[in-house]
Amino acid sequence: MRIPSLNFSPISKAPSYTMEITVLLAAGLRDWVDFDIIIGILVLNTFVRWYQEKQAGDIVAQLKVSITFKATVIRDGQEQDIVARDIVPGDIIKTNTILADGKILASYDDKNRSKAKAIEQKIEVTRRHKEIMESQPKQTK
């Protein structure tokens, strides 16, 4: 959760700095009517800025909650639309883009996963072969 703060861009602070300097001058000159009016304007301005920033933050939070990433996957030979966080290893994702942690197993037309299973078996055989080769002692000449 984001805590509302009074951090504003330097551009929006410039008029505020001018008003703060003016309030100091009014206090130094003992012009209490101007001092009170300027203090009132600064307090009102601060409240309005805080309220607007809070409303914007609340709207962004609501949008983040309402946006859910969905994916079309083939699971157990059936096409399903699921929430992206429910994707598990073994799901075939129907997409036009390659995800960062995904791998291409076959084309989308391979719904029964025959090509994907063949590729997975080849990967497993290659992995086992590499493990066997690494476990054997190296022969010296």
What tokens were used for 45? 């301005």
Three-state DSSP string of 30-78: CCHHHHHHHHHHHHHHHHHHHHHHHHHHHHHHHHHHHCCCEEEEEECCE
First and final C-alpha spacing in the chain: 65
In this model, does residue 12 exceed pLDDT 90? no
Q: Which residues contact 119 (CB under 8 A, 6 or more apart)?
A: 105, 106
Strongest mean pLDDT among 69-73, 108-112, 129-133: 69-73
Neighbours of 74 (CB within 10 A): 19
More confident residue, 102 or 26: 26
Instruction: Band the pLDDT of 69: cuts 50, 70, 90.
Output: confident
In this model, does residue 99 exceed pLDDT 70? no
